[in-house]
Structure 1
């Protein structure tokens, strides 16, 4: 009989528990099958299936890489990261290392697995090859998720090759799964990116991008990299020339590197029309190439070049002037590759952010962008929404065109259905620009049920950690809806006022908390409270004392917060919105509203703003409204140098501020208890008011003329006929 000690010894020597590899194989096959069956049929069914499986792989890769790297030293560079993925990570996922790794040392890596286990039991026929993409999506997602968790943004695409060998077939170099072109591209500053664009153009010209490199078909020179030993520091590969096309032979350009021309900066070259035209030409050749990786790389470079539209407008001018350039982007936009579609939409987004001429050139793409708002790919929806928002924000003409093309309904549908923060922000931006300006299609938005969608989103994001920036973006739509009198009555019962007041408190709390913990960046700034205050100011215009009281009681510490806003250093926008709200509240007949504002100390706070160089005219308006209520309030202002501050406002280039200053002097002159006319006559304001009667602005001239005639014009001595006759008689 085995003793207890012997049994324990046997147990201690037992092998660790394991799971058969077939379990993963069956799980993977069932996962693909489930996603295919649960995805609604349609034209985009295949793309949506691949997208869902890639997202599952992305999350799995993020979790797996954390487990793999918990005891690993910090990686030296990107190549070190890729080698780790090829060995430890791939072995953990698929039981073997990557067979071959190549790189062009420009952030593009090719990983090749010659016996990819997922394809081991797939039939060797063209039919199954065409349907193999979903089975590679999970692996692509795992690599992208792992890289994302290591701080590297990437694009991972799969090249499935021409044949799929059976499980028993022995193939030495066949491409069973070639996870190609894992593009590790870091976001660069404008000038660094400019230098890289010139490097791309230079390589294109010297190496002849018109023909593919032998053996690879993508026009780039690749270097095999050992994944079993670390490369030496500073090693690099130099692409070899693979021939030139006929155009390059006809017009040899030489290198266009920004290192030439006397070490001039990339900025100087991007301001050179000849060089910029050449770069745009080369990038368009990349975009129209047949190689998927080369085309996508060209699109990314083109997108970044067009993003410099305000700093380097010549690049955008050159693109717009190139024949068929926009048609190329539109063709890619309507293709079946979602990555290319996203980059093309992003290029159009950057074009629409430029001058009106740039926007007009890109406007042909707007109906296609509208159709992509219903795409199953959220990032494509998001990019399309931002682009349409840029179109709508350019002018009333483009706003009406975008609305007529049917953008409102899918944008509102996004707000009804999505809780993706980036997508909701993009849709809110587009809808906000569609609701701006005179004769905006707000009725169409209301008909599309935008109000319940807005309330739902506001309530949701107010409660979500990190959702404050989305909340404030959505509120911009509400600023335009609340400017319509009939809609204010619809919105009022939906508790919009408490939502806005609470949002203002959350913004200030987040900013001040972040300032106390300087190491933690804040998701919002104080200026993000601007739309929230504007909505409340719009409601304060209602001739309804109940609404005014509702605003005053919307939060227990509401007045304290407004005092904090006015007493803290902010931009003029936030001060103007707060003063706009205060000015509307002071026009109310509600009992005690103005008294409460004065008691809270707003008179000195507003006067403090009035003496600053750039005074928002809303500040002067609020002071005028308070001065109208009681003479003692006006006296308090005069005791705090209000006469001096308003006199300076008469010389302001802001015509609205000048009008408000004239209103103040009209109020002062009409207050008999303070002998206001005499105060104004003895001040420098009298001469300024007299001079403003000839102001080129008709309204200012009328206001000052009425003020001068009613109160400040010197009265002539009365003429007495009897006295005059008596003097004449005495003389005679």
Structure 2
């Protein structure tokens, strides 16, 4: 386990022990350590940058020209692109743009080195030649679709203010191409995004949404809004978010799949930017629209909708309760049984943040009859889903009442937890041991023997005993505490093992402190 993972796990385990952590902080820490990992592993759902190839819907009547034109010498094209003859100039820019639209290895660096960027930007101002503006904006779009250095070259050529100016063009194709180019620029990072916001990108975008524009154009506008909402490390300003939220809410009314996907991801990104941002989004009244999308037939829409509400419940108990008040749990029987593994994983992750809340929120999960599905995943699913299910159950054993803990015991949670003690994942072992320890500590004396027998009969005791020699000190400490407290007479070697542990690891000689909530947190 690397240092960052160990630190995150230590924080979570310490939270279980109530070491100065309230439940809302527990939920937040859980989210930070888990979402980061998930984001690294999943493929990017929405493209940050988009190249416009020559065969796109924006018609190009000359695209059937002899392919040899695409290999024209750039030096000659650079000379002709500066011609005073409008026809010669246009044909040169058009040819360079076609080269930049090649599907494989377009000559972006060569075009930059030949100083075409200043020409493209200059020709954006030639209002009397809208075809030249269109070709120049298209060329800049494809250059900005490259790597960060190539995108920065477009920004350094001062293209952004002139592209923004084109949003006022009377020609729709010029406006749309400018939107596309701007989307590629702001998708590169928060610096260019904030520059575009400062130059006034938001209001022209909103006007396009209000106009009767083709759906392909509206898709591009929506995609630019997604790029505005990215960059969690430096989120969009609260004021800017408040400007665009009504537009996003409006776009969620569309039936077009691409528009719905991008609009929902925009909200998911915003809702991943902390409690204050979560509250701003909730205040916009968009929550019911997000929740309805959980039942959409298109998995590419369900995924960001589930991520969005999942991010909300990483917030405060009050924000979480608002989601529950909108009846979200009614969607979860279907989500927990979804054919896509990633949907099931996110659904269990969502529930793990609910069970990290207060006892009323825990009861809501129980009342929705979702615990049996969680235990099913604990027993039968892939490791990544099992791990989320362990978090869900372990959170419940911390946040729930004794009665709620006894309910999950009655649903046969003990044996699946014990079975997971043979996994190699150290973090999962710690969570499982913590859940079992909490169950044992919270079980009434009259029922304790039944739980102990269940652990023994399913082979859990053997697994716990084996973990007493685990190289991770928190795992062997936890397993030792469980054995010492609840199974003191199950092994003739207990006294010897206890002595060895006390000598080798200096755990101290007071076993009674092992379950004390005021004990010092384990250190990874």
Shared fold (TM-score, shorter chain, > 0.5): yes
**Match 1:582 to one of 351, 359, 362:** 351
Q: CA deviation at 1:357?
A: 1.7
1:715 aligns with 498
Equivalent in the alignment of 1:374: 168
Residues 1:359 and 2:359 are matched in the alignment: no
Distance 1:664 1:423 in 2: 51
- The answer on whether the counterparts of 2:415 and 2:460 sit within 8 Å (CA) in structure 1 is no
Secondary structure of residue in 2 paired with 1:671: helix
Structure 2 residue 332 is matched with structure 1 residue 562: yes
1:451 maps to 245
Distance 1:371 1:395, change over 3 A: same
What's the offset of the Cα at 1:498?
1.8
Q: Could you say which residue in structure 2 is the equivalent of 1:51?
A: none
Question: Contact 2:108–2:150 (CA<8 Å) still a contact in 1?
Answer: yes
Q: 1:633 aligned to 2:408?
A: yes
How big is each residue's C-alpha offset from its partner over 1:592-637, in whole Å with a ceiling of 9 and x where there is no partner? Answer: 312134447422453367425x659655533433454415525756
Q: Which has the higher contact order (CA 8 A, sep 6+)?
A: 2
For 1:513-524, what aligned pairs fall within 5 Å after superposition?
none
What secondary structure, in the 3-state scheme, does the structure 2 residue paired with 1:429 have? helix
CA-to-aligned-CA distance 1:401-457 (integer Å, 9 cap, x gap): 33344333433444455665334433333233233322323223146x323333333
Match runs of 1:152-167 below 5 Å: 154-155=59-60
Q: 1:456-481: per-residue Cα shift (whole Å, max 9, x none)?
A: 3334x2xxxx4343133222232244
Give the superposition deviation at 1:666: 1.8
Deviation at 1:690, TM superposition (A): 3.0
The 5-angstrom pairing of residues 685-696 of structure 1 reads 687=467, 690-693=470-473
- Alpha-carbon contact 1:594-1:626 (below 8 Å) kept: no
Cross-structure match for 2:194: 400
* Higher percent of residues as helix: 2
Q: 1:312 to 1:664 in 2, by over 3 A?
A: farther
- Does the alignment pair 1:667 with 2:460? no
Contact kept in structure 2, 1:389 and 1:429, CA below 8 Å: yes
Shift of residue 708, structure 1, vs aligned partner: 6.2
Partners of 1:681 and 1:433 in 2: how far apart? Answer: 52
SS in 1 for 2:293: helix
Following the alignment from structure 2 to structure 1, what is the Cα–Cα distance between the partners of residues 468 and 191?
Answer: 42
Alpha-carbon contact 1:341-1:380 (below 8 Å) kept:
yes
| Structure 1 pair 409–495 and aligned structure 2 pair: CA distance change class (3 A) | closer
- Higher Cα radius of gyration: 1
Counterpart secondary structure, 2:499: coil
Partner of 1:682: 462
Structure 1 residue aligned with 2:275: 485
Kindly tell me: are residues 494 and 286 of structure 1, through their superposed partners in 2, closer, same or farther at Cα, counting changes over 3 Å? same
Of 542-551 and 496-505, more deviation after overlay is shown by: 542-551
Instruction: Check 1:627–1:335 CA distance in 2 against 1; reply closer, same or farther (3 A cut).
Output: farther
Q: C-alpha distance in 1, partners of 2:341/2:101?
A: 31
Q: For the residues of structure 2 that align with 1:387 and 1:453, how far apart are their CA atoms? A: 21
Q: Cα offset for 1:324?
A: 0.6
Q: Does 1:593 align with 2:364?
A: yes
Q: Distance in 2 between matches of 1:358 and 1:411?
A: 25
Task: Name the residue aligned to 1:332.
Answer: 123
Q: Using a 3 Å threshold, how does the CA distance of structure 1 residues 469 and 708 change in structure 2: closer, same or farther?
A: same
1:230-289 deviation line (CA, Å, top 9, x unaligned): xxxxxxxxxxxxxxxxxxxxxxxxxxxxxxxxxxxxxxxxxxxxxxxx5x5566567556
| Change in 2 beyond 3 A, CA 1:681/1:401 | farther
- Distance in 2 (alpha carbons) for counterparts of 1:685 and 1:359: 58
Shift in Å at residue 541 of structure 1? 3.5
Is the 8 Å Cα contact of residues 533 and 578 (structure 1) preserved in structure 2?
yes
From 382, 390, 394, the counterpart of 1:624: 394
Q: Which residue of 2 aligns with 1:72?
A: none
User: Map of 1:429-444 to 2, 5 A cutoff?
Assistant: 429-435=223-229, 436-444=231-239
What is the distance in 2 between the residues matched to 1:660 and 1:408? 45
State whether residues 606 and 623 of structure 1, in contact with CA within 8 Å, keep that contact through their aligned partners in structure 2: no
1:622 and 1:486, CA in 2 relative to 1: closer, same or farther beyond 3 A? same
- Does 2:313 correspond to 1:540? yes
**For the residues of structure 1 that align with 2:133 and 2:468, how far apart are their CA atoms?**
61
TM-score scaled to structure 2, two decimals? 0.64
SS, match of residue 334 in structure 1: coil
Q: Is the 8 A contact 1:669 1:677 kept in 2?
A: no
Q: Which residue is equivalent to 1:143?
A: none
Aligned residues: 409
Q: Counterparts of 1:285 and 1:711 in 2: how far apart (Å)?
A: 81
Equivalent runs, 1:20-39 vs 2, <5 Å: none
Paired with 1:338 and 1:577, the residues of 2 have a C-alpha distance of: 48
Counterpart pick for 2:69 among 193, 200, 205: 200
Distance in 2 between residues matched to 1:637 and 1:586, nearest whole Å: 18
- For structure 1, the 5+ residue unaligned runs are 1-150, 156-182, 187-195, 205-277, 509-524, 652-657, 694-702, 720-732
The within-5 A match list for 1:182-331 is 183=61, 185=63, 199-201=68-70, 204=72, 290=85, 291=87, 294-295=91-92, 297-305=94-102, 308=103, 312=105, 315-320=107-112, 322-331=113-122
**How far is 1:588 from its partner?**
3.3
Alignment root-mean-square deviation, CA: 4.1
Q: What is the distance in 2 between the residues matched to 1:422 and 1:468?
A: 12
